[in-house]
Structure 1
C-alpha cells in the first residue's frame, strides 16, 4: 500500500556444479616458458577434448582466482571470518584442497546473505578476478565461457561455464586426412597458415604446430613431412585433428546455444 520497493542482491549457498568438466590451472616448467606457450597448451587440451568428447561431461567450468592483496588475503574471506568462521584464508584453502569441507556445513549460514549488509571491501570483489588471472579469464571468454552468477565460497571469484561441445576450439577443430611425404609442407614455411595438429590417440596423444595450405585444409587434408608424422606417431593413411590458430576455422556444423537470462549469485 505504501508503494515502496527495493531490490537487493543476495548470496545463497549451494552446490551447483556436479558431474562437470573442470579446467584447472596450467603449469609450465620455467625452461618451457615463452611467448604464447600457455595459450598453445590450453589449445592442445581443447583439441584433446574434441577428439575424445564422449569422455567429458557436457558442461565445462573454470573457477577463477578471486581478488587478494599482496599478502594473499581475501577481502571477502576477511568479512566471512569476522562473522562466521575464525580461520585464516590460507588455512581455509588448505582444508578445501584436501577435501575437508565439513566446517562449511557446520558454520556457514544456510540462509541468503544480503550483499548490502556485507562490508564495502568484501562487496566490491564479489565476482571479480585477481589481476594476474585476467589474461586467463579473457582467454576462456574468447572460447565461449561466461559467468552465470556463481562465485567461490572463499574468495568470491567467479566460476565461468560453457557447454563442452560449444567451446570454440572444441567446435572448430576437425578430423582431416594426413598426406605424408618426404618434403611435406616445407614449401609453406613462410606462406602457410599455422595449425595445431594432433594424433587421435588417448594415452599416446601428441600435438604440434605446422604450417599448412588453407585450401587443402578446407578440403579435409593436410600435408605433413615424414619427420612431422614420426613426431606425431602417425602411420600412412592416418587421420589427424587440426585446429587453425587464428580467426578462421575449418568449416563445421554450427551449434547455437541460448543463454539463460536469469542470474544467481551463490556461495
Structure 2
C-alpha cells in the first residue's frame, strides 16, 4: 500500500534518513521488499516540526504527486531544514486518485497523521463513516482517502485528549460499521500520529495480519553493537525512527513492533501498550 517513516530526537537534516540511508524511504518507494506493492510512486509527503517544538507546536507540510525519487524539491527541503520530529510517507494508491490532497501526512492543528493500509469496503461504508465525523471537523477533509476519514473519526472520538483511546474508538467504529455491511475484516494497517512532542505508532488489522512496522534500537546500544560504523556518529543519543521497513541491513538495529500494539516514543524512549486487544475491546 504505502511506506512511511517517523523520526524523533535531536534536530537533524531529514535527508539523512529519508534519502541517504542504505534502505531509505525513497529507496523503498522504488523497491519495497516487505511491502504489499514493490513500487510506491503515487506521490509523497513530508511533515516536520520546528526546532524547539513541544506539544502543541504547529508542523509544516509538503505534498507532491511526483514520485519521491523524481522530486528535486524533496532534496532541497530535507537538506535545508533541521527538525527534531518529522514524518514522511510514499504512496501506492489503492483506488483514490493521485492528487495532492490524498498525500500523507495529514495535519490538523498541531497533529500529524499517516497510514499504511486500507479500510476494506470503504466505498460501502463511506457514507456511514463520514457522517460520523464531527460537523466542525468535516470541512477539514480535503481529499478522498479512507485514511483521512479515519484520522477525522479519531479526532471526533477524542484523539486530542486521549490519542490511544481516540484511535481505539475510531477503529472500533470502523469494525462495527464494517460488520453491518457484511465486511469481516475492515481494518488493515499501521498508523503514525504525533502532537509535536510524542509519536504514537499503531500496528493493527482486523484479521491479525498487519503491515510491517519496525523501530530502531537506541543509539548508545547501536554504538556498542557497531563501533566501527561511521554513519551512526551522525545521530544524537536520543535519535530514533519508526519505519515500515528497516533502513539498513545491520542485524539487531531494528525491532519489529508487535501485532495489535502501539509503540509510544517520548522523551524517555519507547513504551508499548496493547491496541485493540481483548482487554481494550472489553
Which TM-score band (shorter chain)? under 0.3
Larger Rg: 1
Larger RCO: 1 or 2 (CA < 8 Å, sep 6+): 1
* TM-score (norm. length: structure 1): 0.24
* TM-score (norm. length: structure 2): 0.23
Higher strand share: 2
